[in-house]
């Protein structure tokens, strides 16, 4: 038997927020509300409408925060029912996104690439071992879109990111999605035309199809090799284009 949050949510810490850093403030406010309301695992959170009215923020901000809480394993959304608590958090324990502010884009990309190499190579190998038929269809669909954009525009941009996220999903380890969520902003810099160069890392394009083929063949060793090849080209371009 789940307990819905009562109507007096404003009395337990949900108040209109200032305009700056809305998403981060909503995360903190919602964590504080969960703690002060003494919600337990399985309890239903306030509805989307209740949250946006209580906090004075837009629907997109509330949805972004709920998505982040889902990725971090804090809540789950049930279609037609609501959003339910999976584990308790407080403002002190909620996993906030990792961030760093190096002075130069080159340094930021190289530092993030170290982490991508550690995560992405292993995720690709695990995807080859664990992928389902549905995973394979999803990865190939994302790859097809990426290839179409690349041939038409010379750069795949966000479609490239979606391909890599599909590979992570196929690894079937929720910790990957949690780590990615915390580093999402840093990761997305790779697909925002670094150094104002649309051709950034374009030489890695053929390796994406080869990575897919390795995952399809359940060849974990080859999948890791192809993922590493993609990241090697990316590093070469960072160093070359930042001179």
- The 10s digit of each residue's pLDDT in 38-92 is 888 899 999 999 998 898 888 888 998 898 888 777 889 998 899 999 888 777 6
Are 35 and 126 part of one and the same domain? no
C-alpha–C-alpha distance, residues 86 and 102, integer Å: 35
Q: In the prediction, which pLDDT does 199 show? A: 87
Where in the sequence is the domain holding 27, given as residue range(s)? 9-85
Are 114 and 231 part of one and the same domain? yes
CATH number of the domain at 21, please.
Answer: 1.10.10.10
Its pTM stands at 0.65
Among 85, 120, 150, the domain-final residue is 85
Residue 203 exposure: Cα atoms within 13 Å on the Cβ side: 10
C-alpha–C-alpha distance, residues 178 and 213, integer Å: 27
Q: How many domains does the chain have?
A: 2
Q: In the prediction, which pLDDT does 94 show? A: 67
Are 116 and 56 part of one and the same domain? no
Are 124 and 67 part of one and the same domain? no
- The 10s digit of each residue's pLDDT in 176-185 is 877 886 777 7
Are 137 and 221 part of one and the same domain? yes
Q: Phi and psi for 126 in degrees, rounded to 5?
A: -65, -35
Are 81 and 115 part of one and the same domain? no
Chain centre distance of CA 205: 22
Q: Among 108-117, 135-144, 153-162, name the most confident range.
A: 135-144
């Amino acid at each position: 038997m789940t307990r819905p949050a009562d109507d007096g949510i404003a009395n337990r810490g949900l108040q209109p927020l200032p305009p700056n850093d809305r998403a981060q403030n909503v995360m903190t406010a919602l964590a504080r509300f969960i703690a002060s309301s003494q919600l337990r695992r399985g309890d239903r959170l306030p509805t989307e409408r209740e949250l946006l009215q209580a906090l004075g923020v837009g629907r997109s901000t509330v949805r972004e925060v709920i998505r982040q809480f889902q990725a971090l394993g804090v809540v789950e959304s049930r279609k037609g029912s609501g959003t339910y608590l999976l584990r308790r958090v407080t403002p002190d324990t909620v996993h906030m996104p990792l961030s760093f502010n190096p002075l130069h884009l080159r340094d930021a990309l190289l530092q993030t690439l170290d982490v991508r190499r550690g995560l992405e190579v292993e995720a690709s190998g695990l995807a080859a071992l664990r992928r389902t038929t549905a995973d394979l269809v999803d990865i190939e669909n994302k790859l097809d879109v990426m290839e179409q954009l690349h041939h038409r525009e010379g750069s795949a941009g966000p479609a490239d990111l979606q391909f890599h996220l599909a590979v992570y999903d196929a690894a079937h380890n929720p910790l990957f999605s949690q780590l990615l969520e915390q580093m999402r902003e840093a990761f997305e810099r790779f697909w925002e035309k670094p150094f104002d160069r649309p051709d950034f890392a374009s030489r890695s394009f053929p390796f994406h199809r080869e990575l897919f083929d390795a995952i399809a063949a359940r060849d974990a060793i080859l999948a890791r090799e192809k993922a590493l090849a993609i990241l090697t080209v990316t590093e070469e371009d960072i160093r070359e284009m930042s001179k």
